[in-house]
Chains A and B, each alone.
Chain A
Amino acid sequence: MVDIANEIKQQVQERRPLTLAMILTNRWFLYGVSMLAFFLAWDMAAVARVFSSGLPRPYEVVLQLWRMMFDPLAGKSLLGHIWASTQRILIGFTIASLVAVPLGLMMALNRYVNAIVKPLFDLLKPMPPLAWISIAILWFGIGETSKVFIIIIGTFVPCLLDAYNGVRLVEPELYDVIRMLGGNRRHEIIQVCFPAAFPAIFAGLQIALSIAWSCVLAAELVSARSGLGFIIILGMNLSRPAMVVGGMVVIALVAWTMSQLVSGLERFVCPWKREIDSR
């Protein structure tokens, strides 16, 4: 009798004998097929000179990256340039999230804060962050500050919006539960608003991170002596497509790694989300 009411959701894995059809429909197998097809097509396009000399072969890109690890460009090895871009992102992203997330939470929790900040925010929100590049250079010069500034501008919006919405979308019944049990406003905020907003905050951080990469890249393309955007521009000026594509590939890899780190942090901070994510 107890069983009918005690039902736990579990993921059951079926074991079936290995068949050819199973291998052919296996997820990992298909991943491999799609990757292989992509690189083959790329290589063929490069050999056939579809873009005349503008497309390097994949192995040339790898070779180029390998060389850049040891031969410095503008005084920095490849790792040095990766770190240059990453550092800008870390600084800008950290500053923006440390200000925007608490501000977003406060806007959602206090209507006076909301009334003061919201109009300013709505005014500035539609402006694309890259529109700030020129003015940032006029204000801060072409050094680090203007790049970090652009990143802050770009990442501020998603950090703030998602923190704000995370609190606004809390199920109102949860507040009733607390009030019913005699809890006060402090309980509501700490026990419900914050944990409920965490997943939304992390979603905002993920979006912010990808925007940060666009921003840093744009800023580096405009003016820089270091960073992955610099490598791309240099490759273009030197007519070395392998360098351009190499820069693009590295950006993708580093950006992916950072977003994985944020996901990892989210799983650590929001353990209750694990079950949902692992589908």
Chain B
Amino acid sequence: MDGSEARKTKIEVRNLTKRFGDLLVLDEISFNVGEGEFLSIVGPTGCGKTTFLNTLSKLIPSTAGDIFIDGEIADPKKHHLSFVFQEPTCMPWRTVRENVAYGMEVKHVPKVEMEKKLDQIMGMVGLSDCAGLYPNQISASMLQRIAVARAFAVNPDLLLMDEPYGQLDVKLRYYLEDELVRLWEHLKSTVIFVTHNIEEAVYISERILILSNKPAKIKAEVKVDLPRPRSLIDPRLVEIRKEVTELIRWW
């Protein structure tokens, strides 16, 4: 399970296990993520993807196993973790710009640096025009972009994304996926992106982990060694998509 020979290992997950009472949801999951890698995790609906991210990020305690960041046990107070949740999570009382700035505020980023970073990120995700608006004045897709921008803005050691574009229509999703890849290429964050959409995973990531049905285990690993920008109709991409689909169906 090592898809990052050339890279320094950034994240190490060891035997991560989670039970809710008798219900075993995560079954000894182990893998590594390289520095600056874009890793996707695909699995069927309800297999425990959200639970996986929540334990990984320490939002809920794990039953066993641990996560190491740069060799140290992960701790949200010490490491910079970012999470883009399945649902948009903006604070209604903050303007778009203040929402994006929120993470940096908590982390006490100096004012000047913060403003500079804000201008950069807001420009990259196309939020500059509505910086002064409140969340109830903008559309659902823009709310999710606020969350993405907020997550990238803190230069996270690890960025976790839980099907952020699940509810959006196809056209918008392609557009935001491109935007996400652009952000990642510029800011060089380490990303774990969870989805049940195989095409999305193949299109954006460098490596894909496939989870089995509940209890979730890593069933297979697929590398996506395609140059960018990618095209959805590239035969190589279609080939990989078929491969992943087969792996998911085969239990």
Is the CB of B133 closer than 8 A to any CB of chain A?
Answer: yes
Q: A7-B141, A8-B138, A275-B134 are in contact. Are A180 and B82 (CB under 8 A)?
A: yes
Residues of chain B with a CB closer than 8 A to A4's CB? 171-172, 175
Residues of chain B with a CB closer than 8 A to A173's CB? 85, 87, 89
The residue that A181 contacts in the complex, of B94, B103, B134, B135, with Cβ under 8 A, is B103
Question: In this complex, which of A6, A7, A171 has the most chain B Cβ atoms within 10 angstroms of its Cβ?
Answer: A6
Residues of chain B with a CB closer than 8 A to A272's CB? 92-94, 134-136
A176 nearest in chain B by CB position: B59
State the CA gap A42–B85 with chains docked (Å): 60
Residues of chain A with a CB closer than 8 A to B76's CB? 179-182
Is the CB of A196 closer than 8 A to any CB of chain B?
Answer: yes
Q: A182-B80, A183-B106, A275-B136 are in contact. Are A177 and B59 (CB under 8 A)?
A: no
Consensus secondary structure, chain A interface? helix
Is the CB of B91 closer than 8 A to any CB of chain A?
Answer: yes
Residues of chain A with a CB closer than 8 A to B249's CB? none
Docked-complex contact A176 and B139, CB < 8 angstroms:
no
Residues of chain A with a CB closer than 8 A to B77's CB? 182
Is the CB of A73 closer than 8 A to any CB of chain B?
Answer: no
Is the CB of A15 closer than 8 A to any CB of chain B?
Answer: no
Docked-complex contact B83 and A176, CB < 8 angstroms:
yes
**Nearest CB in chain A: distance from B154 CB, A:** 7
Number of chain A residues close to chain B: CB under 8 A: 30
Interfacial residues of chain B within 109-134, with CB under 8 A of chain A in the complex: 126, 129-130, 133-134
Docked-complex contact A196 and B93, CB < 8 angstroms:
yes
Is the CB of B57 closer than 8 A to any CB of chain A?
Answer: yes
State the CA gap A192–B106 with chains docked (Å): 13
Residues of chain A with a CB closer than 8 A to B172's CB? 4-5
Q: What bracket does the count of chain B residues touching chain A fall in?
A: 35 or more
Is the CB of B107 closer than 8 A to any CB of chain A?
Answer: yes
State the CA gap A37–B225 with chains docked (Å): 78
Is the CB of B176 closer than 8 A to any CB of chain A?
Answer: yes
Residues of chain A with a CB closer than 8 A to B102's CB? 177, 181, 191
**Nearest CB in chain A: distance from B33 CB, A:** 18
The residue that A187 contacts in the complex, of B82, B106, B138, B154, with Cβ under 8 A, is B106
B95 nearest in chain A by CB position: A272
B91 nearest in chain A by CB position: A174
Is the CB of B149 closer than 8 A to any CB of chain A?
Answer: no
The interface bits of chain A over 4-39 (1 if a CB of B lies within 8 angstroms of the residue's CB, else 0) are: 111111000000000000000000000000000000
Minimum-distance CB pairs A-B, first 6: A195-B93, A7-B139, A272-B134, A180-B83, A181-B103, A183-B106
The interface bits of chain B over 40-82 (1 if a CB of A lies within 8 angstroms of the residue's CB, else 0) are: 0000000000000000010100000000000000001100111
Query: What would 23 A/B residue contacts be, using CB atoms closer than 8 Å?
Result: A5-B172, A5-B176, A6-B129, A8-B137, A8-B139, A176-B85, A176-B89, A177-B85, A177-B102, A180-B83, A181-B76, A181-B82, A181-B102, A181-B106, A181-B154, A182-B80, A182-B81, A182-B106, A183-B106, A191-B102, A196-B93, A270-B93, A272-B93
Is the CB of A116 closer than 8 A to any CB of chain B?
Answer: no
Is the CB of B142 closer than 8 A to any CB of chain A?
Answer: yes
Residues of chain B with a CB closer than 8 A to A177's CB? 83, 85, 89, 102
State the CA gap A10–B92 with chains docked (Å): 17
Residues of chain B with a CB closer than 8 A to A276's CB? 136
Interfacial residues of chain A within 180-223, with CB under 8 A of chain B in the complex: 180-183, 187, 191-192, 195-196, 198
Docked-complex contact B59 and A192, CB < 8 angstroms:
no
Residues of chain B with a CB closer than 8 A to A187's CB? 106
Residues of chain A with a CB closer than 8 A to B136's CB? 9, 272, 275-276
**Nearest CB in chain A: distance from B142 CB, A:** 7
Is the CB of A68 closer than 8 A to any CB of chain B?
Answer: no
State the CA gap A178–B138 with chains docked (Å): 22
Residues of chain A with a CB closer than 8 A to B179's CB? 5
8 more CB-based (< 8 A) A-B contacts, given A196-B93, A275-B136: A4-B172, A5-B179, A7-B142, A8-B138, A8-B139, A181-B76, A181-B81, A275-B134
Residues of chain B with a CB closer than 8 A to A180's CB? 57, 59, 76, 81-83
Is the CB of A115 closer than 8 A to any CB of chain B?
Answer: no
The residue that B126 contacts in the complex, of A5, A182, A191, A271, with Cβ under 8 A, is A5
